[in-house]
C-alpha cells in the first residue's frame, strides 16, 4: 500500500520556485534566506497518515556543500515537528522517514544508507491523526540552493537502498574533485611532514615557566588542597590547581587519534579499504573506519599510538590547551601531563521513561541505578590530575523549549512512580476532588483518575499550569539531586562539573544544580552569554564553564561547517580568539573547552555529522592560522582576566551554517 504525492499539489512561498519535471518529480530553487514548498492543505487532510509507516523520496543537488533539507509536519493548532536531513552534493540519495518519529521520543533518528545526520526539532510530538500541513524547506545558505525530489511517497515498507559506486574520498580520506590550500598531495608528503614534526616535538617539549605542574598560573596563588577546587577571590571565580595556582581552563574535547567514519550504508562512496585483520586493523572499529588512524600507521608503523600521543601532547601545549576535555582517550590521558576531565557514562535511567531520556525519578529503580552509576568514580578518587567529572552531556529531553514534563507524564499510559507522587501531592494540596476541579476547571470524580491517561483532562486553567510547573521543578530537582549526592559520596575530592546542558531553555533547569561545584553549559555562539552566565552563577553561587564551542570555515575540503561558521581559516582563528578572550573577561566563567581536536569525516561519523571544526585535518595537519590564534588567546587571557588588558574586540563575519 502506497500513496504518491503529485508535484502539482505543492505550492511555494515567495522565496522559492517550483519547476515540475514530471508528475512526481520536481525541482525546487530557494533563495539565500531559505525557502519552502507546502502541500495544499485540502490534500494534506485527505491523506490517512496513520495508515503508513514511512515517508520516502529520492533527492539530488549540486551545491558546494551539504544541503540541509527540512521536512515539517503541522498538527491542528500550533504544534509542529521538523526533521533535518543532511544530503551530500552530486549524489542521488534516498530519504526515509519512519513516521513513528513524530511521536517525538527520539532526538536523533536512525541513519539510513547515503544519508548524513537526521535530527528532530520542534514540539514534543505531533499526532499523525491530526496532521494539517506538510512542508519541505531549506535553511539559510551562502548561495541560492537548487534540489530535485522524485517519488515522494508514503508506504508501509522500507525502500531499497541500492546505489551506484562512485568514490567520494581519496586513499587519505580527503574529498575528491576539489583542491584547497593545505591539502596533502600524496602519502609520501604526509609521511615526511608528520615525521619531521614529531622530531621537532621531541626536541622542544618544555613547560612554560609561568605555569605550575598542573597548568595553573604561578602569578596568582591560593590555599592548596592537593586536588582541583574552585575559589571566588571577591572579583573572579577560578579553578585552583592542586598546588594552589589559579587556572582558567582552556580545554580541547575529543583528544583521540581518530574520528571514525561509519562504513555501513556508505560503501558506494568509499575507495577500497584494507583488510580488517591486516596491518591497518587498528583503523577499524566495528563497522567504522578511521582514515586518520590509517594515515598515522602509514607514517609511524606499529608505534603509531606513541608517536601520535607525543605529537599531540606537544601541540596542545604549544597551542595553549591546559586541560584535556571530554571524550578524550584514556591511553592519551595516561601518558599526558595535562589535567583532564572525565565524562561519566550510563547516567541512571529507568525501564519506562517519561519523555525521551527523562526517567521515572521517584522510583526506587532510579535511586538504585544512581548508586551504581556513582561507583565508576571510585577508581579516580586519588588522581590529582583529574579536575572533575561531568555527570552527562546534553540531556535530550531538555532540547524541547517549553516542555511540560508533568503533562507528558499524565498523557503517558504507564503508571510511573512520579505519577503516583503527583497524585499524592495534589491530593494533599486540594484535600477534596471538588477543590481541584474548581481550580483546574476539570470534572474528575476522584484523584486516582489522574493515573489513567484516558481520563486525564488538560485545561488552560492558570492553577493547573502552576501546579504542573511546580511538579516539573520537583522532578527536575530529583533528577539532579539523587545522582549528584551519590557521586559526591563516592568521590569527595573531585569537582562535580554538571551536565553540560545544550542551552538553558528556562530557569527550571537550574533546579538542584546548587549541588554541583561548577555549572556547565555548551555554547555555540560567537561569544559567551555574559548575562546568562552571571544569572546562573548568582542563583546557584557556583561558577560556570563552557563544555563545547566551535567554529568551521568554508575554504577547505569539507562539506559542512558546523553550528557556527566563517569564510576562512584566518577568520576561524579570529573567532576562537574573540570567544576565548571575551570569556576570560567574564568573572563567573572559569573555563571554555573547544569541540574538537579532529575534523569529522567527510562522509560522517557514527551519526552522520561531518563538520570542519577540528584543529587538525584527516591527515593530522594543523590548520595553522587557527592554532596560531589559539596560542595568542592563551598568552593574553590571564592579563585580561585580572583587568590589565582589554579582550580582543572584533568578531569576524559569520556565514550561514551547514550544521544539522
pLDDT at position 172 is: 98
* pLDDT tier at 30, thresholds 50, 70, 90: very high
- How far is residue 650 CA from its own chain's centroid? 27
- Sequence-distant (6+) residues with CB within 8 A of 219 are 210, 638
Residues 150-165: tens digit of each pLDDT: 999 999 999 999 999 9
Contact 339, 383 (CB under 8 A): no
Which secondary-structure segment (H or E) carries 155? strand 145-155
For residues 155 and 464, give the distance between their C-alpha atoms in angstroms, rounded to a whole number. 41
Q: Average pLDDT over the chain, rounded to whole?
A: 96
pLDDT at position 204 is: 76
Residues 631-644: tens digit of each pLDDT: 999 999 999 999 99
* pLDDT tier at 205, thresholds 50, 70, 90: low
For residues 31 and 143, give the distance between their C-alpha atoms in angstroms, rounded to a whole number. 7
- What percent of the chain has a predicted confidence (pLDDT) above 90? 95
Contact 55, 153 (CB under 8 A): yes
* pLDDT tier at 83, thresholds 50, 70, 90: very high
Mean pLDDT, residues 501-508: 94
* pLDDT tier at 206, thresholds 50, 70, 90: low
Mean pLDDT, residues 594-618: 97
For residues 38 and 25, give the distance between their C-alpha atoms in angstroms, rounded to a whole number. 15
Contact 59, 166 (CB under 8 A): no
For residues 533 and 201, give the distance between their C-alpha atoms in angstroms, rounded to a whole number. 38
- Residue scoring higher pLDDT (204 or 277): 277
* pLDDT tier at 498, thresholds 50, 70, 90: very high
Helix, strand, or coil (residue 228)? coil
Mean pLDDT, residues 451-479: 98
Q: Where are the domains of the chain?
A: 2-155, 353-495
**Residue 499: which of 525, 481, 486 has the closest Cα?**
481
* pLDDT tier at 200, thresholds 50, 70, 90: confident
Residues 172-189: tens digit of each pLDDT: 999 999 999 999 999 999
pLDDT at position 1 is: 85
* pLDDT tier at 208, thresholds 50, 70, 90: confident
pLDDT at position 77 is: 86
Say yes or no to pLDDT of 659 above 90.
no
**Residue 553: which of 169, 65, 61, 32 has the closest Cα?**
65
Mean pLDDT, residues 567-584: 98
Mean pLDDT, residues 225-246: 98
- How far is residue 548 CA from its own chain's centroid? 8
Peptide bond into 537 cis (omega under 30): no
pLDDT at position 207 is: 65
Say yes or no to pLDDT of 358 above 70.
yes
pTM: 0.96
Homologous superfamily of 2-155: Galactose-binding lectin (2.60.120.430)
* pLDDT tier at 386, thresholds 50, 70, 90: very high
Mean pLDDT, residues 513-533: 98
pLDDT at position 326 is: 98
pLDDT at position 657 is: 85
pLDDT at position 259 is: 87
Say yes or no to pLDDT of 96 above 80.
yes
Amino acid at each position: 500500500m502506497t500513496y504518491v504525492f503529485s508535484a502539482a499539489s505543492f505550492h511555494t512561498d515567495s522565496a522559492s520556485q517550483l519547476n515540475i519535471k514530471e508528475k512526481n518529480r520536481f525541482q525546487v530553487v530557494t533563495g539565500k534566506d531559505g525557502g519552502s514548498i507546502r502541500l495544499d492543505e485540502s490534500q494534506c487532510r485527505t491523506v490517512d497518515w496513520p495508515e503508513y509507516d514511512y515517508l520516502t523520496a529520492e533527492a539530488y543537488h549540486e551545491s558546494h556543500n551539504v544541503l540541509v533539507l527540512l521536512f515539517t509536519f503541522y498538527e491542528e493548532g500550533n504544534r509542529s515537528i521538523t526533521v533535518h536531513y543532511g544530503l551530500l552534493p552530486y549524489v542521488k540519495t534516498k530519504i526515509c522517514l519512519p513516521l513513528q518519529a513524530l511521536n517525538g521520543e527520539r532526538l536523533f533518528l536512525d541513519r539510513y544508507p547515503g544519508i548524513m545526520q537526521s535530527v528532530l526539532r520542534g514540539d514534543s510530538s505531533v499526532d499523525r491523526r491530526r496532521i494539517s500541513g506538510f512542508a519541505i524547506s531549506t535553511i539559510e545558505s551562502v548561495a541560492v540552493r537548487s534540489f530535485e525530489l522524485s517519488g515522494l511517497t508514503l508506504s508501509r515498507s522500507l525502500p531499497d537502498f541500492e546505489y551506484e559506486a562512485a568514490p567520494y574520498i581519496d586513499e587519505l580520506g580527503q574529498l575528491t574533485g576539489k583542491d584547497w590550500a593545505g591539502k596533502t598531495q600524496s602519502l609520501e608528503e604526509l609521511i615526511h611532514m608528520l615525521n619531521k614534526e614529531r622530531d621537532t616535538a621531541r626536541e622542544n617539549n618544555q613547560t612554560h615557566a609561568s605555569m605550575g605542574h598542573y597548568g595553573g598560573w604561578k602569578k596568582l596563588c591560593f590555599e592548596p588542597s592537593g586536588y582541583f577546587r574552585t575559589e571566588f577571590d571577591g572579583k573572579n571565580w577560578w579553578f585552583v590547581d592542586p598546588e594552589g595556582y589559579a587556572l582558567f581552563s582552556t580545554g580541547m574535547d575529543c583528544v583521540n587519534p581518530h574520528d571514525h567514519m561509519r562504513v555501513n550504508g556508505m560503501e558506494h562512496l568509499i575507495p577500497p579499504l584494507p583488510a580488517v585483520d591486516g596491518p591497518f586493523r587498528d583503523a577499524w572499529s566495528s563497522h567504522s573506519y578511521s582514515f586518520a588512524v590509517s594515515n598515522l600507521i602509514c607514517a609511524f608503523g606499529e608505534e603509531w599510538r606513541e608517536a601520535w600521543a607525543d605529537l599531540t601532547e606537544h601541540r596542545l601545549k604549544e597551542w595553549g590547551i591546559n586541560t584535556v576535555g571530554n571524550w578524550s582517550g584514556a591511553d592519551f590521558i595516561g601518558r599526558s601531563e595535562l589535567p583532564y576531565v572525565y565524562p561519566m557514562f550510563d547516567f541512571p535511567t529507568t525501564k519506562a521513561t517519561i519523555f525521551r531520556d527523562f526517567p521515572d525519578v521517584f522510583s526506587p529503580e532510579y535511586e538504585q541505578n544512581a548508586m551504581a552509576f556513582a561507583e565508576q568514580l571510585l577508581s579516580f578518587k586519588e588522581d590529582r590530575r583529574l579536575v572533575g567529572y561531568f555527570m552527562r552531556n546534553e540531556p535530550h529531553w531538555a532540547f524541547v523549549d517549553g516542555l511540560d514534563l508533568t503533562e507528558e507524564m499524565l498523557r503517558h499510559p504507564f503508571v510511573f512512580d512520579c505519577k503516583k507522587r503527583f497524585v499524592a501531592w495534589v491530593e494533599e494540596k486540594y484535600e477534596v476532588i471538588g477543590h481541584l476541579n474548581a481550580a483546574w476547571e476539570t470534572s474528575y470524580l476522584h484523584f486516582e483518575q489522574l493515573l489513567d491517561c484516558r481520563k486525564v483532562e488538560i485545561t488552560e486553567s492558570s492553577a493547573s499550569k502552576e501546579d504542573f510547573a511546580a511538579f516539573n521543578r520537583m522532578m527536575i530537582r530529583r533528577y539532579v539531586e539523587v545522582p549528584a549526592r551519590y557521586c559526591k559520596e563516592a568521590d569527595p575530592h573531585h569537582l562535580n562539573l554538571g551536565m553540560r546542558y545544550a542551552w538553558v531553555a528556562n530557569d527550571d533547569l537550574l533546579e538542584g544544580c546548587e549541588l554541583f561545584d561548577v555549572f556547565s553549559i555548551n555554547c555555540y555562539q560567537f561569544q559567551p552569554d555574559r548575562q546568562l552566565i552571571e544569572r546562573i552563577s548568582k542563583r546557584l553561587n557556583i561558577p560556570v564553564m563552557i563544555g563545547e564551542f566551535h567554529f568551521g570555515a568554508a575554504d577547505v575540503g569539507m562539506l559542512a561547517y558546523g553550528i557556527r561558521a566563517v569564510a576562512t581559516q584566518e577568520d576561524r582563528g579570529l573567532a576562537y580568539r574573540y570567544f576565548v578572550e571575551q570569556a576570560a573577561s567574564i568573572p563567573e566563567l572559569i573555563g571554555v573547552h573547544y569541540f574538537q581536536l579532529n575534523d569529522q569525516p567527510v562522509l560522517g561519523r557514527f551519526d552522520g555529522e561531518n563538520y570542519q571544526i577540528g584543529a587538525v585535518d584527516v591527515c593530522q595537519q594543523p590548520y595553522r592560522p587557527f592554532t596560531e590564534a589559539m596560542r595568542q588567546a592563551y598568552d593574553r587571557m590571564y592579563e585580561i582576566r585580572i583587568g590589565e588588558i582589554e579582550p580582543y574586540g572584533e568578531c569576524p563575519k559569520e556565514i550561514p551554517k551547514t550544521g544539522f
